[in-house]
Structure formats: C-alpha cells, structure tokens
Structure 1
C-alpha cells in the first residue's frame, strides 16, 4: 500500500463544526484522499461503525482510511503513537507519530511517520517547541521513510513551505475540522500542495531553464520529495515541456539540437 501524501485529514469530532462524516465528506470532495480516524475515546463498536462510514466515503474516490492505534477496525492501515507498540504490528500500512530525531531513529518497519509540531498548534497549545521549516528539513534529510508535516498547518503558504522542506504531505486537523466550508478549505490546501510540486519554468537567452521537484529514493526504496537546482532543457517544436522524472531518480532530458 502506498504511504499517504498530499493533504491528510486528522479527525476530531469534538471540534468539528458539523457531524464528523459530513466534515470528512466535504474534505474528500475538496481533494483529500487520506483520513486518519482518531476518536480513541469511543467504545470499539462505535468507533468501528464510524470507520465503516468513513471508508464508504473514501471508497468513492479511491481514498484510504488509516486508524489511529494498533487495531485497524476491519481495515489494514494503522497509525501508532511514539510510545508503542514496538515492534509495529504487521499491516499493509503502518505509520507512527514522531516529534524529534530519537523517536525517528526507533522506526523499523513503519512505512511513514508524522513529525510535529512544525508550527504552534491550537489543538495542543504549548506542545513543542515548533520545528519550523528548517527543523523539518533536517529531520527529512536524516530519515529513511516519508514524513508528513503536522502541527499548525492552516495556510497554503505553510503547505508550500512543508513541501519545499521535503515533506511528502501535511496532516491537518483544526483547519479542516473547524472550517465553515471543509470542501473549500481542503481544495485550497490541496491546490497549494500540487502547485508546490509543479515545475517552475524560467526563460533564458538560449532556451528554457527548468526548476522542478526531484524524487529521490531512500534506503528502503521509498520515494521522497525534495527540491532541485537548475536543469537546462530545450523544448522541441510542437511539444510541451514536462518534468522528466523516473521512479526514484531523475531521468536525463532528451538531448535536442539547437539551431544556430
């Protein structure tokens, strides 16, 4: 199962402006494809029923529900706390909440991790200190699994900063749960994520210089996002420029001959 990326919804029915299923449905309509079900205080039967409802919402768009805790509630994707269990249970998708390098160093077979807080958060005030984009970048570079940025992510500018720091996505709670229009809020953040990955083209004297995100392969064969330097490309007549990248390593541009 592919690790989560883009805008990942974290649920909290206690702060949701309307029913949790309606908020999640709105966020999914706005482009979210990953949802982490929290609500750990509910009895298992109620939580399992809620998981089934959210899976039905996500099924229409090919999305995935991840359950917080070791019990997948009928699925096969879980998100574990930093405290345990260790070793992780064997599921198709296992993530873990982390907050600093020592916790990241304990990862073994997890497929991804969240790292928080990147910014001060209303959900957990005083939790930190915040990493900021620079701190996030350092942890991304030192970690062999994809990282989702978590904590205080509310604006498109923050999403962009997280992607440029190397995060494969952002985990968002308050900005979506408290939104008057979850669809619009999710669409705004999702658009910022995709725009941050879109190649930027700048004109030069002899052609076009392309600046694009680079996909790099980690020790575990997992693709992570980072930014690249300048790579010259020359457009051919009648064709459009596209980012040329393969699985895990950028492919060299096809050479073309310039007219004198």
Structure 2
C-alpha cells in the first residue's frame, strides 16, 4: 500500500502531549497531517481501544490514515487503517489478518531489520534513530544523514526516517538521503504548530533519487 500523502507520520505519546490526544489530533489534522499512529502502549487494552476508535473517527473527517502501534488484532477491532509493528514483528501475519489494503509498517534499526521487514511484505519501515531525540535521550547510536543514506540505498523497502527529525532542515536532509517519508513524535506532541514546518519541507513532489533505489 502506498504511504499517505504528505509522507509525514505522527506517532502519539500522551505523556508529552500539551492537550488530550483527541483534541491534539484535530489540530494536527487541521494543519495538514494525514498520517497518525496511536502508540501509548502502556494504556489498558480497553482504554487503548476506545482511544483508537476515537482517533480513527476524527481522522475520517479529514480523510487521514490512522494506524495503531503494536497489536494487529486491536487495530482490526478499532477499524484502523493498519498497524505498526515492533522490530522483529511478523508483518506477514499482520497482513493475513488485516488484509491486502492495510498499511503495515515495522520498526527497524539496522539493515537486518529492514531486510526482514521487506521479506515479510511490509509496506514500509521506520529507521531510527537518525538524530539525537529528546523523546528517547541516550538512545542510539545515531545513524546520521550518511548512515541513513547508505541504509536507504541498500533497501528495496520504503524507509521512514525517525528520531530527532524536528526541524524543516532535518526533514529536508532526510529527504535528500532518499527516504520515502519522515516521522515525528515529541515535537508534534509538545508543539503541534511546529509540524507545519515539517509539512512545508515535504510539500513538493516526493521522489526517491536513483542513487537510493
């Protein structure tokens, strides 16, 4: 399944959010975000299901793609457009459950993770951390732009850059490295208006350079 347009994935974290997630997502959608994934895995399953359904409903009004981090069965119950799995998650099993039209992504941190996700038929993988991240201090080592470029060039999978992509310049540098999209969490939760700058950086037609194929 093609990635949503614009190719900016917002990952939720209510512990950093300046407002309740349901309200915050309305602001993000109004700014132009069209792809959001509910993370917040620490919530009780029933509460997480209720929140996922609420976000799916709000996203529908904006024609936005809303997915769920973690459990494909919970994503199905919530009516989400797909699921984002942890590193090593079974993308093939998620596809079998959710169907061919679902958006299935996987977290990856190295070439092995990217290759495994591609072999299992994932639509994309987030690759992290690209830069130092305020949301996960000390998490690394960072790939940097050069490392990101090498990973993208060696992978057949659509790669979404994650980790410390918090400025338009950072988004542009990832784009120039050949990624299919970028992801943000902390910035969007702490300062949703700042997402406008990331969207602007991704607003022109998106094409992987030949060197990254």
TM-score (norm 2): 0.87
Change (3 A) 1:133 1:148: same
How far apart are the structure 2 equivalents of 1:76 and 1:167? Answer: 22
SS at match of 1:128: coil
How far apart are the structure 2 equivalents of 1:76 and 1:56? Answer: 11
1:101 to 108, 111, 123: 111
The answer to whether the 8 A contact 1:88-1:94 is kept is no
2:124 to 89, 106, 112: 112
Post-superposition shift, 1:48? Answer: 1.2
Post-superposition shift, 1:170? Answer: 0.9
User: Paired residue for 1:194?
Assistant: 203
Greater strand percent: which structure? 1
Structure 1: give runs of 5+ residues left out of the alignment. 198-212, 216-224, 229-247, 249-260
Post-superposition shift, 1:112? Answer: 0.5
Instruction: Say if 2:36 is the partner of 1:35.
Output: yes
The answer to whether the 8 A contact 2:91-2:104 is kept is no
Structure 2: give runs of 5+ residues left out of the alignment. none
The answer to whether the 8 A contact 2:65-2:81 is kept is no
How far apart are the structure 1 equivalents of 2:124 and 2:91? Answer: 15
TM-score (norm 1): 0.72
| Runs of 4+ displaced beyond 6 Å | none
Q: CA RMSD in A?
A: 1.9
User: Paired residue for 1:2?
Assistant: 2
How far apart are the structure 2 equivalents of 1:7 and 1:85? Answer: 24
Greater helix percent: which structure? 2
Instruction: Say if 2:79 is the partner of 1:74.
Output: yes
